[in-house]
Structure 1
């Protein structure tokens, strides 16, 4: 069948399509229908969890596309990130950044996150229309990850624009151009920091590269780009989707407003209900693999639908219902296995702090438009609204 993730209507609400596909088989062959590579889409929870841990599903895009004659001109620092690698390379690269996102490291950032959140909310007029995405969901994680990496304040609007363009579904020209702009910028920032070192995460990565030579120069630039982009894109959509879901479920919203200490426990269900990463990053089979009852040949792409898996009724009964008392610790919103999102603790902290502040300071918050009027971002990988008009 044709890949449904290429359809604009699917991008608005993919869950009925996922359910229909899953009822046929939790793993189905799909084709882009535009000369692309035929692959398989995984929509079942058990199959998705298994696929995320299967070493026979490689993420090394350089190997897959080596003889495909691609006309793309993605910058190598964007095309060959840590996300597009396998062990032992992936293990080495991930180890270089893991310490920055431990629970302890994130705890030290919480006062800064709270301060930025308050400063942004101070700009919201009471009782008027505000775009939640532009007013909080975008700037909060951008400011936090840029501060963590040491990106100057004046450069942050460009960084945000290039990052958004990297996810422009169906526009390879825009994506490729943005990849070079982002990589060139990070190359220049690294050079500037070598001249004037500081104490940010990027400075520490530079010191590790120049001292122990544990990273190549290309790997250093690639890690910087990946951390910058992934460090806010997921959080922006996580926060936007969470608020939209709560506004559409007033009983659950009131429950959290009256019991704000329940917010941390509610995050997994909010992640499950509308996953900020709809489809996991690229994988392909290095040998024949059987997922569920589907035999997949070697050398074909496998798309793992994290959003689809999180709505599988075999794992989560009544999956289309938001239930903040549900046990959803096993949801796949941040992935699973060795490639699970390294920045998950930071994203959870940002969303928790932001939700608590919004519900406390604006108890009458409500949607300014009907949900069906909201436009979702036109991208297959991540899922979130382009804008979210609310009344404060």
Structure 2
């Protein structure tokens, strides 16, 4: 529900601008110190409330009064002009969310992901081979960071990898804050749903061993979800299953290549590599905030009471840079997460909406970094770091390109 023009003019725009691809917006440090719950103008034009401190963000993410389901109410403030549809993981609360999440979670258990490791490593190795064949220079985004997570999620879901450029365009529009017009967002979302509708029909005729075939069977044989829920879940898994990893893989390599030791920082030991991945996830935000939440009753956050039907953005980007929880928070410390006194980073959220793909994403990042370090030990940035730019107007943070060289 749009606010009046005076309110819009008074509240700064969300997300706040960043000076470069290497720095999070300066506004977050100011807000944590001075205004931990701040009014902002959302891309839709509605007013929201940005929560910036670690403890408050964590509390919002776990608070059932800060609802995802309420975001689809007609009277609720909206994040964008074309918000997420009802009936999906991003717009449900327990117990409906619990039911749908349990169906999708079958593919993302730690045991299932561990069984996939050899194939994930194989896919990464094949892409590294292809990149090496280009010579001594490449755009890491185009050659590796994009096709690798896409290949993994395509195999998992049973989506043809050959269609990757088509659904890349569609998924960018689905995750748009301001990069696309409302008409473009709606058109691309409908195109993606139409593509998935045809793919579901194919799985009904010729089911495979993939997750989408399994979900079709749940729909048709068990009645465990509606056709709308099936399509919305498929869209969520396809889009979220690659977009976030594409972005954080590119920014993670960018972070490493800006250090004196570059890819030599990637350790051989599993525990040390896991700690490095956690620090890279902390220092490289997947996005500026999580999906929008709307309060179902008055909620007090950091001493401020927000009335019912208030839009809330819990900024994970800001929380992971909170110096009250992470000493010298803006500094990259590869083994920071090995310290048991450090709190967990919040890149994958917290509470009932904690990212179900987190085990897969961590595995992809660890294997990708290990393979890149082994195959390209001399990799370096091929351009000055200040010339590397970030896409703007998207829910996820993704570099436009990452030129690298080796040899």
Query: Is the partner of 1:122 in helix, strand or coil?
Result: helix
- Aligned-partner Cα distance in 1 for 2:233–2:253: 30
Pair 1:121-2:131 in alignment: no
Give the corresponding residue for 1:199: 209
Q: 1:110 Cα deviation (Å)?
A: 0.9
Q: What RMSD in Å do the two structures reach over aligned CA positions? A: 2.3
Which deviations, in whole Å up to 9, do the C-alpha atoms of 1:117-164 show, x marking residues without a partner? 111111124762211111111101111101111112332221222112
SS at match of 1:5: coil
Q: What's 1:165 paired with? A: 173
Partner of 2:375: 361
Partner SS for 2:264: helix
TM-score of the pair, normalised by structure 2: 0.89
> Number of matched residues?
389
With over 3 angstroms needed to count, the CA separation of the structure-2 counterparts of 1:31 and 1:188, relative to structure 1, is same
- Structure 1 gaps of 5+ residues are none
- What is the CA deviation profile of residues 288-325 of structure 1, one whole-angstrom value per residue up to 9, with x for unaligned ones? 11111222111110011101100000010111100012
Alignment of 1:33-44 (within 5 A): 36-44=45-53
- Corresponding residue for residue 52 of structure 1: 61
Q: Which is further off, 246-255 or 113-122?
A: 246-255
Q: Do the aligned residues in 1 keep the contact of 2:391 with 2:397 (CA within 8 Å)? A: yes
Greater CA drift, 105-114 or 367-376? 367-376
Unaligned residue ranges in structure 2 (runs of 5+)? 1-9
* Between 90-99 and 375-384, the greater mean CA deviation after superposition: 375-384
Question: Which position in structure 2 is the counterpart of 1:229?
Answer: 239
Please name the residue that 1:209 is paired with: 219
Residues 69-80 of structure 1 correspond to what in structure 2 (within 5 A)?
78=85, 80=87
Where 2:348 maps in the other structure, the secondary structure is coil
Match of 2:138, SS state, is strand
Query: Whole-Å Cα distance in 1 between the matches of residues 248 and 153 of structure 2?
Result: 15
Q: How much has 1:62 moved relative to structure 2?
A: 5.5
Matched, 1:302 2:312: yes
Q: Counterpart in 1 of 2:96?
A: 89
Over 3 Å counting, the alpha-carbon distance change for 1:96 and 1:67 in structure 2 is same
- Cα pair 1:168 1:378 within 8 Å, conserved: no
Q: Deviations over 1:67-124 (max 9, x none)?
A: 77999567x7x55421111111101100111121011100111111111111111112
Residue 7 of structure 2 aligns with which residue?
A: none
The Cα of 1:7 is off from its aligned counterpart by 5.3
Tell me how far apart the structure 2 counterparts of residues 67 and 20 of structure 1 sit (CA, whole Å). 28
CA contact (8 A) 2:172 2:394 kept: no
Report deviation, 1:23: 1.4
SS at match of 2:336: coil
